[in-house]
Amino acid sequence: MTDKPRIILDCDPGIDDAFAIVTAARWAEVVAITTVSGNVSLDKTTANALRLRSLIGSNFPVHAGAHEPLEAAPLSAGHVHGECGLGGLDLPHSPEKPDSSDAVEFLVETTRKEEGLHLVPIGPLTNIALALQVDPDLSKRVSSITFMGGSAGGLGNVTAAAEFNIYADPEAAQVVLHSGSPVTMIGLNLTHQVQVGTKETETCHSIDTPVGSAMAYLLDFYADFYRSHLGTDTGSMHDPCAVLAVTHPELFTFEKRYVTVEVKGQHTRGMTLVDERGAGSDSEPNCRVAYSINPEKAVSLIMQAVAEV
């Protein structure tokens, strides 16, 4: 029995989700992966999770979840991750099927059988919200719900105010944030501190394994996006930051804050409003918000995971 934290990774692979899966496989005990519609449709995020599981030679279960948000129309980030979700990566399709098509039931039942798990959602929060609606006591059984999404300070990427995972399903994010769960938010304010570029692509290329080659390809594809769409030489490595917040919390600083989601605003729907008033706030904190990270160490751990997984 290792002392690695035991996690369920809820994801929408997704290029940075792929790095999060590799990071989790190296630094955590992955109890299972659950998939959700997000970057691309559920059938594609699920197929990608199965392909990535085969690539890294793992055998954790994969359970498919929600094919659409609670209320919003499904969104896509194909322009970032490619139409298939992994930039057209030439990975053999896994002959395996998901272990179930009911990730929500799996989340409820597994957290009943084993208390103390960390749920690490790195896509829209639809599955987590549905599980909390089925069984609100899930909030008391988990060690954390550590999600990549939102932002302190009003940063957005899909709109000026909203980050993709929250914008894709604001109602789900609101359920999770107000569930009484031990929630930690890894927002854009944090993940923008963790940048990858040519150096990391070359590092992955130098790791002469199928995983190294695949991750180098994904970084190359991601570079095309941020160079052409953002005009930058590097891109944020969002999703692995949520995994590292569980496996290496010493790299981060966190503050307890009241966080709520704008679900109605004409210009701000999907914004995570973080109350920075401190003692002046009239709301009890409901979330641990990440504010800083040691970016060099974070990138080094992600690259080490690519080499060693």
Q: Interface with ligand RIB by CB under 6 A: which residues? A: 12, 14, 16-17, 38-39, 77, 122-123, 148, 157, 163-165, 238-239
- Going by C-alpha positions, the residue among 215, 227, 235, 174 that lies closest to residue 305 is 215
Is 192 considered catalytic here?
no
Minimum Å gap between C-beta 151 and Ca ion is 15
Query: Could you tell me where the DSSP H helices lie in 31-102?
Result: 42-56, 78-81
Minimum Å gap between C-beta 45 and Ca ion is 9
Residues 260 and 273 sit within 8 Å (Cβ to Cβ)? yes
CA distances from 98 to 118, 132, 190 (A): 21, 22, 32
Both tokens of 302, joined, read 């992600």
Nearer to ligand RIB, 108 or 242 (CB): 242
Minimum Å gap between C-beta 159 and ligand RIB is 11
Does 10 sit near Ca ion (CB under 5 A)?
Answer: no
**From 119-127, 196-204, 249-257, 261-269, span contacting Ca ion (CB under 5 A):** 119-127
Both tokens of 205, joined, read 């290329």
**Beta carbons within 8 Å of 28's beta carbon, 6+ residues apart:** 4, 5, 6, 7, 118, 243, 246, 247
Among 10, 17, 200, 262, contact with Ca ion (rule: CB under 5 A): 17
The secondary structure of residue 180, as a DSSP letter, is T
Q: Which does 163 bind (CB under 5 to 8 A by kind): ligand RIB, Ca ion, none?
A: ligand RIB
Nearer to Ca ion, 15 or 216 (CB): 15
Nearer to Ca ion, 122 or 125 (CB): 122
**From 13-21, 83-91, 130-138, 269-277, span contacting Ca ion (CB under 5 A):** 13-21
